[in-house]
Chain A
Amino acid sequence: EAGVVQSPRYKIIEKKQPVAFWCNPISGHNTLYWYLQNLGQGPELLIRYENEEAVDDSQLPKDRFSAERLKGVDSTLKIQPAELGDSAVYLCASSPDPSGSLNEQFFGPGTRLTVL
């Protein structure tokens, strides 16, 4: 079974430029998450989707960050314009059943963003 796929794996951009990350979750997983992970820290949730609906985007900086999951499968996270402080790893995760008590999440390899 293929895992969560993310691309690109690495991205280097100059500040004020736009950037987009793509995620394809595990087939059949209805819930998709985007996390931000700073060096030496645990992941922090940015947004959670149930199918195509964003059900928790309270931690998403909406002035510059946006996300979409149009058909309830793959998702795109965008930053426009990027700032130096956005340099981090952006992780995508998916889980099969949000109502399940264990709610196990499966993570992709992440996209490492460097803003110069």
Chain B
Amino acid sequence: KNQVEQSPQSLIILEGKNCTLQCNYTVSPFSNLRWYKQDTGRGPVSLTIMTFSENTKSNGRYTATLDADTKQSSLHITASQLSDSASYICVVSVEYGNKLVFGAGTILRVKS
């Protein structure tokens, strides 16, 4: 069964600190993996998309990694800001069939 598991479920950090969110997946055949940020009351917004051959991709203070062998990904946030408070969703695309498998998300709260 295609699944995406994320950890931790929620996280609280102080402003300015770094954090890393984890994603494990059992999706086959794999096409690409993306991280979305979802602010409260808004739709998800794409942060990064990585294909099989990519093992790291950055978008400002966000850096995603992908290990296709172990089927793990991480999202590292550097120098967190209050505006980083959101849910971060790991999504894996199944090759062929145009299907996305969503994780449940990690709720991040950055406090001052």
Contact = CB atoms under 8 A, between A and B. Distances in A.
A40 B93 contact: no
Contact of B105 (A40, A93, A98, A102): A40
Q: Which applies to chain A's interface (DSSP): helix, strand, loop or mixed?
A: loop
Contacts of B99: 45, 56
Nearest to B32: A102
B64 to A, nearest CB: 14
Nearest to A105: B100
Contact of A41 (B32, B42, B46, B104): B104
A31 interface: yes
Report the interface size class on chain A.
20 to 34
B43 interface: yes
B98 A93 contact: no
A31 B45 contact: no
Contacts of A31: 98
Interface residues of B, number: 23
Contacts of A43: 44, 102
Interface in B55-106: 89, 91, 93, 98-100, 102-105
Contacts of B103: 42
Given A43-B44, A107-B44, A109-B41, A102 B104 contact: no
B100 A45 contact: yes
Given A31-B98, A42-B103, A45-B100, A102 B49 contact: yes
Contacts of A40: 104-105, 107
A25 interface: no
Given A43-B102, A103-B98, A110 B32 contact: no
Contacts of A102: 32, 49, 51, 93
Interface of B: 4, 31-32, 34, 41-46, 49, 51, 89, 91, 93, 98-100, 102-105, 107
